[in-house]
Structures are given as C-alpha cells and as structure tokens.
Structure 1
Amino acid sequence: MSTADDPMPLASLSLTHVHYDPRDNISYLCAWLALIPQGLCVVYATLIWSTREIEIALLFAGQLACEALNFALKRFIKEERPPLMNGKGYGMPSSHAQFVSYFAVSMALFLLFRHQPENAGVKRRNHKPMTMLERAVWSVLGLGMAATVAWSRIYLNYHTEKQVLVGCMAGTASAVAWFLFTTAIRRTGWLTWAVDHPVARFLRVRDLVVEEDLCQAGWEKWDDRMMALKGREEKKVH
C-alpha cells in the first residue's frame, strides 16, 4: 500500500505521445503526421457544431464505427508490433492507417459521386462551384495524405508493412460500406425523415453540402448584402 512518503506513481496520457528519432528530420515529420487523426477529430467536431450538416455527422459516425472495428480486429488477431517496437498494444491492423484511409476514401467517394453542385462549372458573380476535375484533384491529394500517414507508421517502427496494408484495406472497406449504407438511407427517404424530425429541426440540422460547397453556405447572402451596402453608399455620394 502507498503512503504519504510513498505516493502512487503517476500515469501518462499517451494520446498524442509519439516516439521519434530527434536526429532524423524525416522521423520528426512523421511524428507530426501521426497527429493527423487527432486533428481530424477536432475538424469533425468543429464542422458539425458550426455547420450542422448531416453529411458531416454521418461521415463522423462512420469514422467512429471504423475505429470500433479496428479495436475489435486488434483484439481478435492479437498480432504484436514490430521488434524493438514503439507504442503499446497490438499492431494488427494499424489504427492510423485505417483511420486516414477511411477518411480519404470517404471524401473521394463524396466528391466524385455524391457532391453534385447546382450549375457545376458555371461561374456566378460571387461563386464558381467546383468542377469534376477540381474534385478529382482534391480526392487525389486526400489519398496522398492518407498514404503518407500510413507510411509514417512504418518509418517510426510502430507497425510492419503488413499491419499498415491491412489497416488501409480495412479503412477502405469501411468507407465503401458506409458510403453504400448512407446512399441507401438517402434513396429510401429515411435521411429526409430524420432531418425533418422535430429534434433535428430544433438543432438546426441541414443537408445542403451535397448540392453546394461548404464554404458557400451563407456566402452569397453576405456578398449580396455587402453589394447592396456599397450601392447605397455610392448613391449617397452622388
């Protein structure tokens, strides 16, 4: 038993604790790449709260389901991390690789197949929707980011190549399965019913990002107001 002279040792919250070689600049970069999943969780929470978009909430729900799958797979497979490993717990599959693969593939599926902005490619006075080429470029960049994060786990010796590959496969499969599921609830009308539910209306839940760019919500209204204000000021001058 511990006493006042023999206090209980403190534990470390290792959520953002990353081992890297301080003499290696690439290792240092990989340590920062390892924090991308935590950063994406902050982005999820911020966008859900600020936009109330159901599509973002659904994407995050799928991300949580993907993490639950990773938790179960690790404890079912029980494969250890590499020799002289960094990190605790089982290594198969890589949770980082699975997390970013789900996110990147989900974003690519959304941008290429679900996001259909009105008058795509037509430039209006204060906005031009993303073209298919622009959406394809963003999709490739997202997949490249995911591949870099996954590779960093091998470089930092947290996982073997096989553990990272299986993590990428599990994340990709989760993204495709969740995309098909959300497509089904959209087509059957369940999503429309949910968004129109009194609780959802009270929380100001909306479903606009499928047809308009996220940054566009409210921008045209604001720009029109500023143009009207400038017009009134010009009239006063003349």
Structure 2
Amino acid sequence: MADVPLASLSLTHVHYDPNDPISYFCAWLALVPQGLCVVYATLIWSTREIEILLMFGGQMACEALNFALKRILKEERPKQMHGKGYGMPSSHAQFVSFFSISLTLFMLFRHVPKKPAPSHTPLSMVARVLLSGLALANAGLVAWSRTYLNYHTQKQVFVGIFAGAVSAVGWFIITTIVRRIGLLSWFLDQPVTRLFRMRDLVVEEDLCQSGWEKWEVKRAAATSHVNQKKIS
C-alpha cells in the first residue's frame, strides 16, 4: 500500500492560499452547494413537503444543464487551474443562483400563510424579504469566491449566474402551471406518493408551524386532565 499513489476526492478538494485569510474563507464558501444538498435531503426526509422535492428536482435539472453546457462550450478555466475540467459556466455560481432565486420566488410569490393562529405567527413579508436578501447575498459571495480562488473568469461566473437565474424562473413557471392544472394534486393522490406521506402544506404554513396546533391541543388536554384529578 505504501507504493500506491493516493488520489484526491475532488468533490471537496479546494485549492486556496494558506497565507491569505480571505482565500481560506473562499475555500469554505466552495462547500456551500454540498451543504445545500444536505439541507435539501434533510428537509425532504423530515418534512415530506412536495414543494421542497420539486425545488430539489429543479436544482438537479439545473446541474444537468451545467454539465451539458460545459461540454458544449469547452472553455478552459483560468491558467492557474488549467486541467481541472471546463470552466464555462461556473457550476457553483449556477447552483447558488438557482437556489437563491428559487427561494426568493417561493417566499415572495408562492408562500401565502394562513391567518395567524393565536399560538403562532407566520413569517411576515418583511421577514421573508430579509431571508430572500440573505440568500441572494450568500449566492453573490459564493459566486465572487470562484474568481478570487482563480477557478473561473468573471465571464464564466456571470454566465453561471445567468443560467441559474433563467433556470430558476423557468422552473418556477413550470411548477406553477403543474399546480394550476391539477397535475400536482393528482400526483399527491397516487399510492406511491401517499406511501411516502408526501404533502403540500408549506405553501400556506411555515415549517415550524407543522403539527404545532395539534401539539397545543394535546398539551391543553393533558393540563385539563391534571387539573381535574387535583379537583377530584
């Protein structure tokens, strides 16, 4: 084994200048897409929300588009990173652009919370705007980091941002049509979908509200039962 040359797992192998704190920070930003994939998987499994699954499906389609574009355009990375695959467009910039714009479109146009319950107040429009702005700012940082680390030229990053934005808007329109024609409702009624308990509640309630009213009713019933025992 000592004579066998070791390979690097390129999924997380990021080159940066160890003497530059900003370069080190940018190296961590390079892991944002992987972190978002973990977030997607966790939320899909824990909430079973179809909206999150749809967004993840669009994200993977956007990645497939990036894979195809790189092999069609065949543009090299900056000279510092030659030989590390094609650079046009930036996959990181495209990934975070799709995610941030999809989240913004959902927060501002698709998420319509129900009338606040006495025990819970959903996110206000101001809060949703701030969250959207935070997501967009994060996307901008990740995109900028790709040029700082010399993995991409500015043109490659801008094209990646544009491709991600167009994909996000296009996917939002497609899923809106799927909802309006009833195709999504039909899909949720299928035996396989029901087997996995997929649901479509996040468009009208916050994730933290899911099951909250049921919990409050259970707590109230338990408190009432204890009080009755004390009286008796």
Report the TM-score, using the length of structure 2 for normalisation: 0.94
The alignment-based identity, stated in percent, is 65
1:127-166 matches, within 5 Å, as: 127-166=120-159
Instruction: Give 1:227 shift.
Output: 3.2
Identify the residue that residue 77 of structure 1 maps to in structure 2.
73
Give the Cα–Cα distance (whole angstroms) in 1 for the partners of residues 147 and 219 of structure 2.
Answer: 51
1:8-43: CA deviations, max 9, x gaps? x33221111111111111111111111010011011
Match of 1:42 among 21, 30, 38: 38
Instruction: Give 1:235 shift.
Output: 4.3
Instruction: Give 1:86 shift.
Output: 7.2
Identify the residue that residue 61 of structure 1 maps to in structure 2.
57
Contact 1:19 1:86 in 2 (8 A): no
Give the Cα–Cα distance (whole angstroms) in 2 for the partners of residues 5 and 81 of structure 1.
Answer: 33
Match of 2:186 among 186, 193, 205: 193
Contact 2:76 2:82 in 1 (8 A): no
User: 5+ unaligned residues in a row in structure 2: which ranges?
Assistant: none
Count of aligned positions: 231
Instruction: Give 1:99 shift.
Output: 0.1
Distance 1:67 1:229, change over 3 A: same
Identify the residue that residue 232 of structure 1 maps to in structure 2.
225
Match of 2:216 among 217, 223, 231: 223
Q: Which has the larger displacement, 224-233 or 33-42?
A: 224-233
Distance 1:186 1:25, change over 3 A: same
User: 5+ unaligned residues in a row in structure 1: which ranges?
Assistant: none
Identify the residue that residue 170 of structure 2 maps to in structure 1.
177
Contact 1:87 1:158 in 2 (8 A): no
